[in-house]
Structure 1
Amino acid sequence: MARQSLVSMVADSILNRIVSGDIPPEGTLPGELELTAEHEVSRMTVREAVKTLEAQGVVRIERGRGTYVNPLKRWTSMEAVLRAASEGENEAAASVQLIELRRMLETGAAELAATRISAEELDGLRGYVAEMSAAHAIDDVRRFVEADLAFHGLILQASGNVFVSLVFEPLSNVLTARRAQTSRVEQIRANAIHEHVQVMGALASGDPELARLAMGSHMSQTMNDLKTYILHIQ
């Protein structure tokens, strides 16, 4: 196996242990010799794997003391953070922070879209809300999630800012997984439909401030629902 492949394999294995909570934040990585024996690779390969994680902000090397796992907020790798958001002990914190990111980006996108959205795009939003309502009535979670995601995707498109959609693209898989989880709860679906109707009305008004506030309200409801029905925290 090529050297770089081995380095990636070892780094990925260590990251798995961190994401799963086997090595918690501020916990120390096993020593170099232990990792070498565990993965049956050279010490140089282990060092490079650890340096890879250090470059991603996942761990920090303290000379003479050891290698420590950083808190999630210090990670700088999108891939690593998304894995933490999808599985393991960091899931709750990452889920909350994902909604915080959505609030920052989507309120701005709605503000822009209010003065740029076309009549055809507004019709598209109405269609997606109708699809969400129909799916909710028959408890079709997959169909509900697809319409929900399409609604938000259309607003990003209507903002007219290509960078907004590009920022969201890496998040698509984890957003789909999150929506599939939360949308199993009937009350969350009902709340989402209500908030989408408010956002749609604000966009139709052409008022940027009203659109920003409506999307902010939607994100607040999303956060409250996540904490109440999924994470069970106040």
Structure 2
Amino acid sequence: MNGGLHGQVVDVLGREISAGEHPPGTVLRIDELEARFGISRSVAREVVRTLASIRLVIGRKRVGIVVRPREEWNTFDPALIRWLLLSDRTGQVRTLVELRTAVEPVAAGIAARRASDEDAAKLVGLAERMVATARSGDLESFLAADVEFHALVLSASGNEMFAQLRDVFAEVLRWRTGHGLMPPHPEPVAVRLHCEIAECVRAGDRDRAEGAMRELVAEALEGTLEQLAAVEARDGSAVEARDGSAE
């Protein structure tokens, strides 16, 4: 999270709360935040306001700033998604992919019926850009096109609630690339499915657009979990080797 000292403190507390270091009911006091982080009262209050906007905490008279139960958190907030991915990677990935599975195939199917000619052409263009960047191994450019592709599918559906999920889905796409969970060259099947979805939307083939998106999301889940397992196994081996050398 950006925002100088304020952003740094929000990030630390957000990560701690999402990881369970401050369980529900824990009281956070302004003077303690000032002392711990060396911040002014005004900055501490702004930090609390930011955490409250994500529904992680709530102010209570004569008590202080209280950590809320997890079921009350705004789990659609991109910052909270990032923090939860740090504390429970596998669980949060599954949660996000389950959400994508429930929404994106339906959005793709509706987009095949409602998308404007301009949006359909943009989808095809983005899919073609993904083909080119996948071949070159330019993961950053591939990611940018991927994020834009999925955001456009959501908005082209004409469903305003679907469209507002674009930042949620973008977060998991960025996180996957940023944490080394993408192969050096994106899987050919994933690239092909993006192209198929775009062409189906342009052709107005609702059933196939929905089916191809369902395949794509399932492929993303399987690939991400495989890469995650490999990373965790590698990290575990490194820890064992370090502990062994210390004996």
> Please, what is the CA RMSD of the aligned residues?
4.3
| Amino acid of the structure 2 residue aligned with 1:180 | T
The residue that corresponds to 2:146 in the other structure is 148
| Amino acid of the structure 1 residue aligned with 2:140 | R
Q: Which digits, 9 at most, give the CA deviation of each residue in 1:59-106, with x for residues without a partner?
A: 699xx9xx66744x5422625523424x63134433332222222332
> Which whole-Å CA distance do the structure 2 matches of 1:157 and 1:55 have between them?
25
Verify: 1:196 aligned to 2:194, yes or no.
yes
Percent identity between the aligned chains? 26
Contact (CA 8 Å) 1:24, 1:69: kept in 2 or not?
A: no
1:111 Cα offset (Å): 1.7
TM-score, normalised relative to structure 1: 0.67
> Which whole-Å CA distance do the structure 2 matches of 1:124 and 1:52 have between them?
36
State the secondary structure of the residue aligned to 1:76.
Answer: coil
Count residues in correspondence.
223
Query: Could you tell me which of 217, 220, 236 is aligned with 1:219?
Result: 217
Trace 1:60-209 onto structure 2 (pairs within 5 A): 70-71=69-70, 74-76=72-74, 78=77, 80-85=79-84, 88-165=86-163, 167-171=164-168, 174-175=171-172, 177-181=174-178, 184-186=182-184, 188-209=186-207
| Distance verdict in 2 for CA 1:26–1:209, change over 3 Å | same
Q: Which digits, 9 at most, give the CA deviation of each residue in 1:169-193, with x for residues without a partner?
A: 5437624522533674146442320
State the secondary structure of the residue aligned to 2:21.
Answer: coil
| Distance verdict in 2 for CA 1:68–1:136, change over 3 Å | same
> Which whole-Å CA distance do the structure 2 matches of 1:123 and 1:91 have between them?
35
The residue that corresponds to 2:3 in the other structure is none
> Which whole-Å CA distance do the structure 2 matches of 1:35 and 1:129 have between them?
48
1:109 Cα offset (Å): 1.5
1:113 Cα offset (Å): 1.0
Unaligned runs of 5+ in 1: 1-6
Unaligned runs of 5+ in 2: 1-5, 233-247
| Distance verdict in 2 for CA 1:123–1:36, change over 3 Å | closer
